[in-house]
Every structure is written in C-alpha cells, then in structure tokens.
Structure 1
Amino acid sequence: MSISVSEAVREAKIMLEPVAQEEALQQAKILVSAIAGIETSALAIHSEMVLAPEQLSDLGEMLNRRVQGEPLQYILGEWAFMGLPFYVDARALIPRQDTELLAETAIRFIRERGYGSCLDLCTGTGCVGISIAKLAGIRVTCSDISRDALSLAKENAELNEAPVSFVASDLFDRIPDKFDLIVCNPPYLTLDDMQTMQKEVTFEPKLALYGGGDGLDVYRKIAWEYEKHLNEKGMLLLEIGSTQAESAAALFSARTSVLNDLGGNPRVIIVEP
C-alpha cells in the first residue's frame, strides 16, 4: 500500500486525536515530516509525494508509541530549545518552552554584568547550561546526580560544540568552585502533582520531577549551600512551579524577585545575596 503525504497526515491526525486532542494535527504533521525527511513548513509543497512502504512502517511504529502516551519528543529523539537542537530520551526531562525564560534571564545578566562563569545544577539534557555556553560564550559547568542524564548532556554538548564541563554531583556535594552565576531547574512537583500528572509525564524520570511532599525539598538544600559557591556580586536563578513563588522565595534570606513566563505564571526566582 502507498499513500501520499497529505493522506498520511490526515490518517495520523485521526489516530492521534484521543491522546493529542487539539494538538493532533500539528503532531501528525511533525511525525510525517520526520519520516518523509522534509520540514514541517514544506508539507504543503510535498503533499502529493508518495511515502515508501518502509516510511509507512516507521510512521506506524511512531504513531503506536504516541497513542500509548509516550511523549512526542522521545519518539522523535530530538527537540529544539533556545533555537538549538538537543537529543532527548528517557534519561532526562524533556526541555520545555517555559524553561527558556531561565536561560534567557541568565544570558541577559551575563551580558549586563559581565559574568564569566556559570554552574547549571540539575542539568538533565544540558539544555540550559549548553544554551548559556553557546549563546553567551562563557564557561559553564553542568552537574547532575544522574549519570544517565550527564551522559545525554555530554552528547548534547558535542552536538552543539559547546564549551561545557561536567560533574556528577548531588547538588553542591562535589562542587568545589565558585561561580558568578548559578542556574537550576530542580525537581519541583509535589506529591499531589505526582499522583495526578498526565500520562506523558509518567515516561519522564521521576528523579527529575519529584520535589518532595510540597515540591520544595531541593530548594531548601540549595538555600542552605548556594552562597558558598557564588562569587561576590553573583546571582542565583531558579525555575519554580507556577504556585511556588512565595513559598520558594521565603526560603532565602537574600533579596529575591520573580519573573513571569509568557503565560503570565511565576516561573523564575532571582536571588541576590
């Protein structure tokens, strides 16, 4: 059997509607683009292109994985963050657009204040630290407790040719140095969040998601230790859950401020000792 690109998109959309709902068409286009080897924006131009049997087989496998709830990003194996490509798989949390605010804020302060060094804690895929190193051109150290995540982050550093070093560490345990800037997107889901999260999220590593009963366990640990690892006039930037601005900020004795994401939700805390 052979079908055209446009027919494949139409049939894929129907299959995806139960799991992707209003995003079914866009996800169908992304998957068909991936197996056809064309840009999503060029689908209309290639709408009558006939897909080969092996391409249809690959598409069917991808669709079956997605229908089972597996995240689109894991199926594709690559996802963009800050305009850069990143390998993505179950070793680490999927890069999210909301987290770009953390990287953008870091880059802004690096340029404004002339910071020359950065520590990225809980690095995961490395998307934040690698983006900072690549786009701001400074020395970045990426750290994570998960060696699996670090192995993925190293692959992403090579992919992006970014000047990044890596340390396997539980937060600051094996970090002897001081930095001008520390950034972190820690696990911050609460126990309630973990019990009610979407099926797609269950495919992601629990270590990168669960932040204790109230979601603030990692923030507490950072608050106890971060000042010993900041240079004078340095800064700490933390991603937070949308309901955690006040409770997370209260853990720090230093001056704090909060930035909202594009959806108007609190997303980044700035801590300045």
Structure 2
Amino acid sequence: MVTVGELYTNLKSMLRLMNIEEYSFEAKLIFEKAFESELPRILMNRESAVPENILKDIQDMTEKRRNGLPVQYIVGEWEFYGYPFKVGKGVLIPRQDTETLVDYVLEICRRNNITSPKIIDLCSGTGCIAITLKKEIPDSEVYALELSENALEYLEYNKKLNNADIKIIKADVLEDDSRKNLPVFDIIVSNPPYLTKQDMQELQKEVQAEPESALYAGEDGLYFYKKITPLWKKSLKNGGMIVYEIGINQHDSVSDILKSYNFEKVEFIKDTAGIIRVVSAVKEEEL
C-alpha cells in the first residue's frame, strides 16, 4: 500500500531525477489530473491509501513524461491569459511569451478607442490568440485561419470551451485564394513557425513532441514572415496594423521585411524576460 503523501513525495523525486526544472509544479498537475481535484484538497488525506486505478494513472503519466512527452499533452489542457485551452499531439502548446502579443493588441485598441476591430489570426493553432482577443474585446469580429486538420480539431473544441464567437477558416496562409471572400482587416496577428534549422537541431526533448509544421521556418526562420507580409498586406486596411510574434534576435530581420513592403511605424515589444518577442507595423496610407 502507498499513501497519498508518499506517492506525492515519490512523484516529485522521480520528476526531479528526470532533470525537470519545475518538478514540483508538474507533480501538482499530474496529481490533480489523476485525482480530479485540487492539490490542497488531495493532500488533506495524505495518510489514505491511493486507489489502484489512480496509482496506475499516475504511473502511466510519469512514464510518458520520462519518454519526453510534454506535461501539457499529458494533462490535456493548458491555461493562456486565464482561459483554458485543450492541447495534445498535433498542436502547438500555448506559451506565456505569446501573451505579450495579446497584451500589445489590447493596449493598442484601448489607446485608440477601437472597440469593434476586424481581426484575423493567421496560423491560429489552438486558437489561443483569436479566442483571447474575442473574449477581451467582445465587440470585435475575429477570424482564425488554420490549415492543419489536427490543429483545427483543437481550435473548434476551444472555441466551444470558451464560448467564443470566432469565425474559423480552414485554409493555407500561403495561398492567395485563402483571402477570397474575407473582409479587409484592421489588425492581422500571427504567431507563425519561426525556428531556424539550427534551432530545430537543438530542440529540447519536450518541444520535439510538438508538430514540426508549427515550428520550422526554413534555414533562417523567416520563411513565413517573407510570404505572409506581401500576401496579407492586401487584406489589411490603410492604416491597419500587422503584429507578429518572433523568435529571439529576429526583430531586425522582420523589421526589414516589413519596411521592404512599405510598412511604417515599426515597433518592438519585449516579453516579461526582456526579450523582443513582438514586432508590429502599420500599413502606409495608399491613395
């Protein structure tokens, strides 16, 4: 027999031996998933025996973690901007870095008293950006464009999970036809693939479990910025804004791409770690 307290201590030790930096946090997530309750409530019964089915679930989840599966995929849900998002194999896990992009768009809308913008999220994945913007700007009209069948399943689920009235479009962001029958937008946002060839060779084991199509962007990591910028500029209103999430040290290159297509007022926005994580620019007024 193993008690709840013993199992929790053992789980933390096992995760620590796997060199998992946030082993205590991950142990909490695994425990809460298995017991379907919050950790403090679970540990109120620390001397109780762990039911066999729960013990097996925790052993199975621990083994998956040992094999490099991200804890987000194991527990099946992750929080972004305070909202829940279902995640799993085949879709990129929402990251705190991306909240920088959302913060910036919300600030721009507040600063300019924009209450009902038309926004499109390109390469939407789980829909974390599109859904969050719709929830935070209720009168906005938000579109989420995604090509991957796997990602679209999560996107549809997360739309319902968060009761977000967004319009989902299955289309290739790199094809001109994808813009057909769409309105002109006030704001285009995108967290496209941006990892370089070298980045892909140096990925952590956990990140290797995420879909390569959501990560890799050619030798220099700039492929999608080079393609999206001229193509989707046509769907942006004069004076409208494009906002990209970028990789580390890509800001100058992405700025050059934007300027080469006559975008103006390029801004760099840092994340909570002080790294430039977002680049924005405004479409020039065309006569």
Given the two structures, how large is their TM-score scaled by the length of structure 1?
0.95
What per-residue deviation string (whole Å, max 9, x for no partner) do you get for residues 50-69 of structure 1? 42111111000000000111
Q: Does 1:231 align with 2:241?
A: no
Does structure 2 conserve the Cα–Cα contact (< 8 Å) formed by 1:189 and 1:212? yes
Q: Does 1:123 align with 2:129?
A: no
Partner of 1:252, secondary structure, is: helix
Q: Which residues of 2 match residues 1-273 of structure 1 at below 5 A? A: 1-4=1-4, 6-40=5-39, 42=41, 44-113=43-112, 114=114, 115-137=116-138, 138-171=140-173, 173=175, 174-176=178-180, 177=182, 178-253=184-259, 254-255=263-264, 256-273=266-283
Does structure 2 conserve the Cα–Cα contact (< 8 Å) formed by 1:2 and 1:52? no
Does structure 2 conserve the Cα–Cα contact (< 8 Å) formed by 1:20 and 1:27? no
The alpha-carbon deviation at position 172 of structure 1 amounts to 5.6
How far apart are the structure 2 equivalents of 1:179 and 1:186? 18
Q: CA RMSD in A?
A: 1.5
> Structure 1 residues 118 and 46 mapped into 2: Cα distance closer, same or farther (>3 Å)?
farther
How far apart are the structure 1 equivalents of 2:40 and 2:143? 36
> Structure 1 residues 172 and 189 mapped into 2: Cα distance closer, same or farther (>3 Å)?
closer
Moved more, 196-205 or 20-29: 20-29
Moved more, 172-181 or 76-85: 172-181
Structure 1 gaps of 5+ residues are none
Moved more, 228-237 or 158-167: 228-237
How far apart are the structure 2 equivalents of 1:41 and 1:270? 43
How far apart are the structure 1 equivalents of 2:9 and 2:94? 28
How far apart are the structure 2 equivalents of 1:108 and 1:48? 49
The alpha-carbon deviation at position 49 of structure 1 amounts to 4.5
Partner of 2:186, secondary structure, is: strand
Give the number of aligned pairs. Answer: 272
How far apart are the structure 1 equivalents of 2:45 and 2:232? 53
How far apart are the structure 2 equivalents of 1:104 and 1:241? 17
Does structure 2 conserve the Cα–Cα contact (< 8 Å) formed by 1:124 and 1:149? yes
Q: Residue 126 of structure 2 aligns to which amino acid in structure 1?
A: T
Q: Residue 124 of structure 1 aligns to which amino acid in structure 2?
A: G
How far apart are the structure 2 equivalents of 1:135 and 1:89? 25
Q: Residue 157 of structure 1 aligns to which amino acid in structure 2?
A: K
How far apart are the structure 2 equivalents of 1:109 and 1:44? 44
Q: Residue 269 of structure 1 aligns to which amino acid in structure 2?
A: V
What per-residue deviation string (whole Å, max 9, x for no partner) do you get for residues 175-219 of structure 1? 232111110000000000111111101110000000110000000
Q: Residue 63 of structure 2 aligns to which amino acid in structure 1?
A: N
Does structure 2 conserve the Cα–Cα contact (< 8 Å) formed by 1:91 and 1:152? no
How far apart are the structure 2 equivalents of 1:117 and 1:103? 15
How far apart are the structure 2 equivalents of 1:38 and 1:252? 48
The alpha-carbon deviation at position 139 of structure 1 amounts to 1.4
Moved more, 202-211 or 136-145: 136-145
How far apart are the structure 1 equivalents of 2:48 and 2:278? 45
Partner of 2:258, secondary structure, is: coil
> Structure 1 residues 234 and 164 mapped into 2: Cα distance closer, same or farther (>3 Å)?
same
Partner of 2:179, secondary structure, is: coil
Structure 2 gaps of 5+ residues are none
The alpha-carbon deviation at position 144 of structure 1 amounts to 1.3
Moved more, 173-182 or 254-263: 173-182
